[in-house]
Amino acid sequence: MEVEIAVLDARYADHASRLKDILMAAAAHMGITAAHAEAYIVGNAFMEKNVLAYPAPKGFPRPDLSGVRDLGELYINPQYIATHGEDFAFMAVHAFLHLLGYDHHGKHDTVKMEAKEQEILAAILPKAIHE
């Protein structure tokens, strides 16, 4: 798994390595190896939400990623997460699962996604990723 991290708000640059660790651990837990994702760390000036995720469209050409599945882009806002008493690791895993096609539109989907979030967090937290 390859994760590109871009920090769009320098105040949160210290979150970059932690975010990469979380995403890499989540991918490893899911058995995802030959894949690529882009993650952007932003502040409230960019978006006033905790996370946004944009799965890559199927068949979208990415010649720069030959032989590697493009998962898409996620945006995470540590400022919003902290202000609202949310957990950074949880929100990173939540956004990652959206890239994999998980959603929470209906009750069944929500239950399935929440179970996968808890499974991943339980598996990766002992690796000292959690605050």
Q: What average pLDDT is seen over the chain?
A: 93
pLDDT in tens, 41-77: 999 999 999 999 999 998 888 888 888 899 999 999 9
pLDDT tens string 70-81: 999 999 999 999
Main-chain phi, psi angles of 115, to 5 degrees: -65, -40
Instruction: Count CB-CB contacts under 10 A for residue 80.
Output: 18
Domains and CATH numbers, the chain: 2-127 (3.40.390.30)
- In order of 4, 21, 45, the CA distances from 117 in angstroms are 22, 16, 28
Query: Residue 73's closest CA among 122, 32, 37, 119?
Result: 37
